[in-house]
Each structure stands twice: as structure tokens, then as C-alpha cells.
């Protein structure tokens, strides 16, 4: 309980965390070898076996790519060659020895992030692997609301030095989306709750028009694999935004 309270205080308000993972999951040899092409495997004193990407110093997770609106909420479409694994399975955390590290997990989701919004800004940060991990302002990525649909968000993410001010003017989006048929590599499909993010229908019309939308087809269970986006149904998905009859059901967070 103390850990939860400390995390909430750091975030300036209550936070609905996605289902936490207490321990790193075993990962297929083929996936380990593939990720080794883009980084290295290390042993963290805090998290155990982790993957450390070979990236520039100022790099942050969930910046090189775009957000896509789907029937299961916001999906992160990465432009990085390792993105289909590390942004949809497992969690990210900042390690004092290695910087950003990925902790393997076998539960798939459209994205493992938490969201903030306020004024003209919307932001997201990697969801921690457990509630004992304290957030830092520098973890957050903020963009103007008008830019949430940008194709290459890394070009419009606000400088991290501005985060201190933006944090004071934004609040946690404390809602969850329930994905009813989320695949898990070893245990089959399960219900998983993820942070909902900004509601599409509450964004300005020009912003909605700029956002890519698609029907989300999750990967098949039993393997680490990519999801498929059916953009031909994008207009339909936008019309159904906020309709709880779909697979992704928006639920209010605790009061």
C-alpha cells in the first residue's frame, strides 16, 4: 500500500496502472537473438534480465512512430525495427546503470503506457513493471493536442526541459480500456486493462480528421508476433468511438 501511495503522490493524482508484472517473463530464443541486433542483454540489480537498446542518449520509448486510433483504443505503431515486440509485450523502466531498459513480458496490448492531458498538451509515459517504480518528469512525452495524429511524433515531442511546467498543467487520464481478447504467449487469450488515453470524440474535429484509424487484429496467441491494422475500416472505427459494444470497453477509473 505504501508503494502505491508514493507513486500516486509522484504523479500528482491517482493513477490506474495496467496489470502489473512482478517478474520478467521467459522469452523465446529467436526473439532474444532478434533484439540482440539492436541492443544488448544485461542483468539489472533492480529488474533482473533486461534488454538495453542501442539508441542515442536523448532517446525515450514511444517516440519514434505514431498513435493509431483503433477499436481497442490507442495503438502504438512504431517505426523502429524492434517496435512490434517491445512496445506491445513487457514493460519499460529507467535503470540508473543502463538507462532505458525493456523487461520482457508475454501479455500483448495495443500499448503499455499511461496518459496525461491538460490545456493544449497531451502526454504519455511507459507504464512501469510494478507500482514500486517511481516516475520521473523526464519519462513523459508531451505534444500539442493538435499534433497527436502526427506521422512521426519524435519531430513534435516537446523538449524534455519543458516537462516540469507541463506536468503542473496536466492531470492523469484516469480511465481504463478493457481488451477482451488480448493474446498471451503462454496462457492463451485473456482480458487485459490498459490506460485509455484521450477520448477520440472529445478532440477537435480537425484533430480527429488527422488521426489514422484502423480495425485492430491482435497477433495470434502462442508466439511473440505483430498485430495487423485494417485501415480500410478506419472511418467506421472513428464513427464508433466511445461505443462500448466493441471489443475495447471504456471504463471510468476510481473516484
| Short-list 226, 61, 40, 177, CA closest to 129 | 61
pLDDT digits (tens, 9 = 90+) for 115-150: 999 999 999 999 988 766 677 999 999 999 999 999
State residue 159's pLDDT score: 96
**Residues 6 or more apart from 252 whose CB is under 8 A from it?**
175
- Can you give the length of the chain in residues? 255
Joined together, the cell numbers standing for residue 47 give 529488474
State residue 182's pLDDT score: 66
Given a cut of 70, whether residue 243 has pLDDT beyond it is no
Distances (CA, A) of 60 to 64, 76, 92, 213, 246: 9, 14, 10, 24, 32
Given a cut of 50, whether residue 162 has pLDDT beyond it is yes
**Residue 197 bridge partners (DSSP):** none
Looking at 59-98, list the stretches that DSSP marks H as alpha helix, in order from N- to C-terminal side.
83-86
Cα(129)–Cα(156) distance, integer angstroms = 27
Among 16-25, 96-105, 199-208, the range scoring the smallest mean pLDDT is: 16-25
**Residue 203 bridge partners (DSSP):** none
Give the pTM: 0.84
Contact between 204 and 146 under an 8 Å Cβ cutoff? The reply is: yes
State residue 10's pLDDT score: 32
Distances (CA, A) of 32 to 68, 96, 112, 150, 193: 27, 23, 20, 31, 27
* Cα Rg of the chain, angstroms: 17
Joined together, the cell numbers standing for residue 79 give 517505426
Residue identified by cell 472505427 is: 237
State residue 55's pLDDT score: 97
Average pLDDT score, the chain: 82
State residue 29's pLDDT score: 82
Cα(111)–Cα(113) distance, integer angstroms = 6
Cα(30)–Cα(15) distance, integer angstroms = 35
Given a cut of 80, whether residue 113 has pLDDT beyond it is yes
Helix (H) or strand (E) holding 33: helix 29-36
Residue identified by cell 498543467 is: 169
Query: In the 8-state DSSP scheme, what is residue 108?
Result: -
Given a cut of 90, whether residue 26 has pLDDT beyond it is no
Residue 255 neighbours by CB distance under 10 Å: 5
Contact between 177 and 249 under an 8 Å Cβ cutoff? The reply is: yes
Amino acid at each position: 500500500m505504501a508503494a502505491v501511495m508514493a507513486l500516486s503522490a509522484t504523479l500528482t493524482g491517482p493513477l490506474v496502472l495496467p496489470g502489473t508484472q512482478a517478474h520478467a517473463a521467459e522469452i523465446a530464443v529467436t526473439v532474444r537473438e532478434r533484439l540482440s541486433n539492436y541492443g544488448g542483454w544485461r542483468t539489472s540489480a533492480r529488474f533482473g534480465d533486461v534488454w538495453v537498446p542501442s539508441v542515442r542518449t536523448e532517446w525515450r520509448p514511444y517516440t519514434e512512430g505514431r498513435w493509431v486510433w483503433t477499436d481497442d483504443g490507442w495503438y502504438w505503431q512504431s517505426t523502429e525495427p524492434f517496435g512490434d515486440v517491445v512496445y506491445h509485450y513487457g514493460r519499460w523502466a529507467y535503470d540508473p546503470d543502463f538507462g532505458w531498459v525493456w523487461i520482457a513480458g508475454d501479455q500483448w496490448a495495443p500499448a503499455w503506457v499511461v496518459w496525461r492531458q491538460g490545456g493544449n498538451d497531451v502526454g504519455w509515459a511507459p507504464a512501469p513493471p510494478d507500482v514500486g517504480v517511481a516516475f520521473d518528469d523526464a519519462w513523459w512525452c508531451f505534444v500539442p493536442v493538435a499534433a497527436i495524429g502526427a506521422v512521426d511524433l519524435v519531430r513534435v515531442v516537446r523538449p524534455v526541459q519543458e516537462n516540469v511546467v507541463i506536468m503542473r498543467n496536466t492531470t492523469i487520464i484516469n480511465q481504463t480500456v478493457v481488451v477482451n481478447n488480448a493474446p498471451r504467449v503462454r496462457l492463451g487469450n485473456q482480458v487485459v486493462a490498459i490506460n485509455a488515453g484521450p477520448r477520440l470524440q472529445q478532440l477537435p474535429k480537425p484533430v480527429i480528421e488527422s488521426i489514422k484509424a484502423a480495425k485492430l487484429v491482435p497477433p495470434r496467441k502462442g508466439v511473440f508476433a505483430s498485430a495487423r491494422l485494417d485501415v480500410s475500416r478506419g472511418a467506421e472505427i472513428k464513427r464508433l468511438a466511445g461505443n462500448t459494444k466493441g471489443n475495447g470497453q471504456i471504463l471510468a477509473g476510481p473516484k
